[in-house]
Structure 1
Amino acid sequence: MAADYVPRRATELVSDALSDTRVVIVNGARQVGKSTLAERVLHGVPRRQSRFLDDPQTRLAAENDPVGFLDFDALTLIDEVQRVPELWLAIKNSVDRDPRPGRFILTGSARLLALQSLPDALSSRSETIELWPLSQGEIDGEPDGFVDAVFGADAVLSTAASRLHRSDYLARIARGGYPTAVQRDTPRRRGRFFSSYLNDIMVRDIKQVADIERAADMRRLITLLAARCAGMINMAKLASELTITEPTVRRYIQILETIFLIQLIPAWSSGATKRATRAPKLMFVDSGLASYLQAPRTNEQSGGLMENFVMGELARQLTWSETVAALYHYHDRDGHEIDAILEDNSGRVVGIEVKSAQSVRSEDLLGLRYLKQKLGSRMHAGYVLYCGADSLSFGDGLGCLPISTLWTTGVESTSQGRSIRHVP
């Protein structure tokens, strides 16, 4: 194992799934560390084998004899499984004949069950775990417990003063979370990584998912989307700027979601807010890649990157938090908007506004106050996350927190239940 390996929170998720599930699928973007994570899990297993389908000889063997390729009675890792669709039904047949848990770990750089080339054969036999680029807590060795903390707290959270300033957050945004980019010390070296990454996506990943008529249009679309980071998607406007049809834009965006380059955050609405719009909000899975595509950028774009950064940290935490919740945004036809909304399974709501300034003004809470008025006790809390140092309460379940609270706040179990832990 590499000496500079960063422990991933998904490791425990994969190990737990193998204990009771026949097939565990580790899905995620290229270069997020899926293969490294899977091998880390296999390291403690007495009998195992690994098959890497990026190797031409291995791929040829899988294509010619998928049944023989799987002939092993212990845990098998198959890396980049989307490269050989013929394996899918063979894996189904294998685990149906031998239904013991922990038979296969499959990794892929695309949302496997969304690919038309793969039959929907493992839906009741598998568990899928999405691996994101590194979180700030994984990079810094911090708890990454904000989601559990905000839903577990009975009052507005408070934390020690943050040492980070706006420039520190922008540096973290530009670094991103791809392990290779994190390890590179200079913006120039990271830029070389991001350039190569985009080329690989165009040459390999997109072609694996679908045939596109004009690759140049896809590349231009990626750049346009980066300029609209954390904004709502207007398909017709994008089509007009690219001089292509709206159905083509929708198809291309679906492809970019399938390969984990972007994620669309759905709009939130309830019976209490009937004038809400339905347009999704765009989030780049990695803030570093979006930052690279924007350079040079405007102050407005820096604000969008900050919002994208916060949503990305929330999305990562939702894959491992004990609280089962979903991420949305809110915008209505009367001009009320909230950057991020977390809603748990019981219907409790936490609203989050993101500000790139180092101070908070009263108007920054207007959206949160509006939602509190509409939802009443159903709104558990509302926060402005900003680049300043202090945490403050504004009453009525509303407050402001440093953005770093996202990863420096933890939740610990005690004999009386769960308690909030803040890391200075």
Structure 2
Amino acid sequence: MDGALTGIADRRLTQVLADRLSEEPTVVLNGPRTVGKSTLLNVLAQRLGTAVIDCDDPATRGAVRNDPGRFVAGPGPVLIDEFQHVPELLDAIKAELNRDLRPGRFVLAGSTRYSTLPQAGQSLTGRVDIIDVLPLAQMEIDGDRDEPFVHRLLSGASPGRSAESSPTSRDEYARRVTSGGMPVALRRPPGRSRSRWFSNYLDLVIERDVIELSRVRQREMLPRLLNQLAARSGQVLNIAATAQAVGMEKSSAENYLRLLEAVFLIHRLPAWGTTLGSRVARQPKVHLVDSGVMAWLLGLTPEKIAKSDPAVLTEYGHLLETFAVGEVLKQVSWWDAPVSVGHFRTPAADEVDLVLERDDGDVIAFEIKSGTRVHNEDLRGMRALRARLGNRLIAGLVLYTGALAYTHDDGTHVVPIDALWR
């Protein structure tokens, strides 16, 4: 990251990393390629006067694979980038931690979800803390140093009313949503240059990272499956229908979906509230990790959205939901206490797009609407959730593209989406 894209993102993550290193023997920075994990490692290396072992470099990777124990020996902290290329490192680190379990010994960065690595489950259980490094949030892009909006909610504050009208226009929302948060893409001007970057990025992740994870027999099916998942982002995941749309067996589609999840192209938002009764949906929703990648896959641009074609606006509604859910989850990832996340849906299709549950059981819920007005029908899901939770629902919010923040008669807060970063 550089220029306007540095600063607050690095400072916030550096502080989180420093706090975790004071308590944990091993910290893993986990997230998509090019989001700034290497930058964070190099900042830490400069402060410590040490070097980063870069396993993305073929020569370094070969040397580490030949003798992983030599590279992890010493008091630390040992900094290793793209460690997933040499999974044997985890066993060597385990042996070191068996001898010395002091905090701050290892910092690993990887572009593959730690939980999906074959050795991960048995090697470092109970000895590793994972920090998600996600695409830039809008408040990071804008250089906002204020306390994040979601943190204020998690602290018990009410979103309240605001006499100030939101300045964000519909066109500005479309620009932000279709741009996403990948730092390198944001440096490119909108248009062919940025589009070419997205194309090359997906080719790299699929051709290199996915293939390295697993022997994929039908490699050509991965982009087709990803396109189908982009078209279904923000919706309840139906693997059978998705598989049928691309001509795959359901079991193969499930395996490939796990691979796309492992390299941070998609994530599943689990069903929440299944203990509230049998009449609560149990299927996850699927979201793309970055709204810019999703927009590119769907061919959505601000110019196309501005034409207000009904089919395009439907796609834009799902894109906006994925964007807003991502913005909330990024701020959750900076919160230091456990937060359970999910979506809520009943068989009657009353739904809430995102539910956050604190470790004390209190709940904050978000419904996302792409319109500039919120109608009574839009509050059905929140009312259904409130009926089940009572006082446990400490804040229910509808995020929309309108200009005013207000509180509905039933206690639901209607808030412009840009409150997440403004």
Q: Which residue of 2 aligns with 1:378?
A: 392
RMSD: 1.9
- What amino acid is the match of 2:352? I
The change in CA–CA distance for 1:271 and 1:20 in structure 2 (over 3 A counts) is: closer
The change in CA–CA distance for 1:24 and 1:322 in structure 2 (over 3 A counts) is: closer
Structure 1 residue 91 displacement after superposition = 1.5
What amino acid does structure 2 have at the position aligned with 1:211?
R
* Aligned residue number for residue 122 of structure 1: 124
Which stretch shows the higher mean deviation, 180-189 or 190-199?
A: 180-189
**1:390 aligned to which of 404, 407, 415:** 404
- Per the alignment, do residues 98 and 117 of structure 1 end up closer, same or farther by CA in structure 2, a change over 3 Å counting? closer
Shift, 1:273, TM fit: 4.5
Unaligned runs of 5+ in 1: 409-424
Shift of 1:21: 2.0
The partner residue of 2:335 within 321, 328, 349 is: 321
Question: Structure 2 vs 1, CA of residues 246 and 269 (structure 1 numbering), >3 Å: closer, same or farther?
Answer: same
Deviation, 1:269, is: 2.0
Candidates 12, 23, 26, aligned match of 2:26: 23
Q: SS where residue 395 of structure 1 aligns? A: coil
Q: Which residue of 2 aligns with 1:246?
A: 250
User: For 1:240-319, what aligned pairs fall within 5 Å after superposition?
Assistant: 240-296=244-300, 298-319=312-333
The structure 2 residue matched to 1:107, chosen from 106, 109, 112, is 109
Structure 2 match to 1:422? none
Q: Are residues 399 and 74 of structure 1, via their aligned partners in 2, closer, same or farther at CA, if it must alter by over 3 Å?
A: closer
Q: Is the 8 A contact 2:91 2:119 kept in 1?
A: no
Distance in 2, matches of 1:236 and 1:269, equals 24
Q: Distance in 1 between matches of 2:226 and 2:383?
A: 35
Call closer, same or farther: CA 1:270–1:198 in 2, change over 3 Å.
closer
Q: Write the deviation string for residues 90-131 of structure 1: whole angstroms up to 9, x where unpaired.
A: 122223323332222111111123212556211222211110
Q: Specify whether residues 35 and 155 from structure 1 end up closer, same or farther in structure 2 by C-alpha distance, changes over 3 A only.
A: closer
SS in 2 for 1:381: strand
State the distance in 1 between where 2:382 and 2:67 align: 58
Check 1:164–1:346 CA distance in 2 against 1; reply closer, same or farther (3 A cut): same
Which has the larger share of strand? Answer: 1
Superposition map of 1:22-421 within 5 A: 22-45=25-48, 47-116=49-118, 118=120, 120-142=122-144, 143=146, 145-153=148-156, 155-159=158-162, 160-296=164-300, 298-322=312-336, 324-408=338-422
Q: Give the structure with the higher percent helix.
A: 2
* TM-score of the aligned structures, taking structure 2 as reference length: 0.91
Q: How far did residue 272 of structure 1 move? A: 4.3
CA contact (8 A) 1:265 1:327 kept: yes
Count of equivalent residues:
407
Give the superposition deviation at 1:305.
0.5
Instruction: Give the conservation status (yes or no) of the 8 Å contact 1:25–1:127.
Output: yes
The 3 A distance-change label for structure 1 pair 241 and 2 is closer
What is the CA-CA distance between 1:366 and the residue it aligns to?
Answer: 1.9
Alpha-carbon offset, residue 133 of structure 1? 0.5
Is the contact made by 1:318 and 1:326 (CA closer than 8 Å) also made in structure 2?
A: no
CA distance in 2, matches of 1:11, 1:318: 16
Q: Which amino acid aligns with 2:89?
A: L
Please give the alpha-carbon distance, in whole angstroms, between the structure 2 residues aligned to 1:154 and 1:36. 34
* Distance in 1, Cα, partners of 2:176 & 2:344: 26
